[in-house]
Structure 1
Amino acid sequence: MFRNSKKKPCRKGTHVWEWERGRCPGEETRRCGRCEQKEAYDPHTWGVWQYESPMTCQQLRYCLVCFEKEVGALIHKWSLSPYYFDENNIPIFVCTHCKETGASEEADRYLMSHEYT
């Protein structure tokens, strides 16, 4: 990182910190003026995870103070569909929330724990 650079690494405890404020009260980032290492303090008051919309399984949450958005994981609710089968006549999983079809590790675990005919 510092090869061919005028910046030199700081020894432990020798950083020269410069502070920057964020939008949310108490949100601060500090950067060392010598080695440019960055550290952030995140004081956001996050709300609960919720679905982005009724038609998607994308999870979101918002800061209750500044309304900054954080994007989470896709969380599907898989179930076996009585209407969809693959070419080997094996039932296909359908997400009951967004109607996506397919398989996932979560769906595979469901299949292994339930027998079907």
Structure 2
Amino acid sequence: MDILRQALCAMGRHSGEWSHPGSRCETIRTCSACGRTEERSRHDWGDWGYAGGCEQVRRCLRCGAPDSWPDHDWGPWLYANTEFNSPQVRTCRRCHTSERTSPTYR
């Protein structure tokens, strides 16, 4: 069994229980086979909410770390002009940001 545990550790598959050493979001574990210590973050995220415009924000309930991402309300793709190789453009209905494709041959 010891040889199997060493092989798993060599492949990076360590074993052991994760624990929170305090009120932080970093969890720590020490491998029961080789003694290597690993650390990772594991946040307890709250609900998403709009922070103005299209930016959605949530915070960790434990440490307060922020996380955000844009949630646009895109309109339809429209050709930018009547040229043969015109790109297509769409605009967010909420914050008026626009995206453009490369030229589209129609």
After TM superposition, the score normalised by the length of structure 2 is: 0.49
More strand by share: 1
